[in-house]
Amino acid sequence: MIFIITILLAYLVGSIPSGLIIGKVFYKTDIREHGSKNLGGTNTFRTLGVKAGLVVTAMDILKGTLATQLPLIMGADIHPLAAGVAAVFGHMYPVFAGFRGGKAVATSGGILLGYHPLLFLLLVCVFFLSLYLSKYVSLSSMVAAAVALLYTLITDIHDIPLLIVLSVIAIFIFIRHRANIKRIIDKTEPKIKWL
């Protein structure tokens, strides 16, 4: 029973629609009606600005981190990554926002912050280096996902749960960015202007 409660709580934590909350409470704006219509940090940056984007991204990261700690908090015999994955699904398909969520990049990063902080810091550096060079948030997110998987294959090959989770997350990130990939190829993907 404690297993089900912990996984459900992790999903509900992931379902907290940070972008929707910040947009409606502080800006009287539903970001689902603007830009990419996505609830994630990137659309928040585009729609509401850098300050709101940073807050939403931080909140989305912390959702993943909190989820990885839930098994310890609840005293449940569950791998922290399993709870983290439940939060990622909650972020992508949030029950509190009509199951229309974000692309799970920040929340996935939050899982790593809670489970493998060194890898999280490496990926933050990779993300911003790619962002500085390309100006594409979507591309930088996919590059970070690929590097995470490659790093694990090289250094943590025996951590099978991490390898499986990163593989699944990378697949989902690429799938949820397929429209972005097409726009990058067509050179119509918006570039950031603040870096």
For residue 157, the model assigns a pLDDT of 86
| Band of residue 40 on the pLDDT scale cut at 50, 70, 90 | confident
| Band of residue 77 on the pLDDT scale cut at 50, 70, 90 | very high
The predicted model gives 10-33 an average pLDDT of 94
Q: Looking at the predicted structure, is the pLDDT value of residue 107 above 90?
A: yes
Q: What is the token pair recorded at 84?
A: 């983290």
Among residues 179, 132, 131, 125, the alpha carbon closest in space to that of 147 is found at 125
Host H or E run for residue 156: none
Domain ranges of the chain: 2-186
Q: What is the model's pTM?
A: 0.92
For residue 183, the model assigns a pLDDT of 94
Handedness of CA 174, 179, 58, 131 (dihedral sign): positive
Q: What is the token pair recorded at 31?
A: 């970001």
Q: Where are the alpha helices (H) located in 78-192, listed in sequence order? A: 80-92, 105-115, 117-134, 137-155, 160-176, 178-186
Q: What are phi and psi of 73, to 5 degrees?
A: -65, -40
List, for residues 122-172, the tens digit of each pLDDT value. 999 999 999 999 999 999 999 999 999 999 999 988 999 999 999 999 998
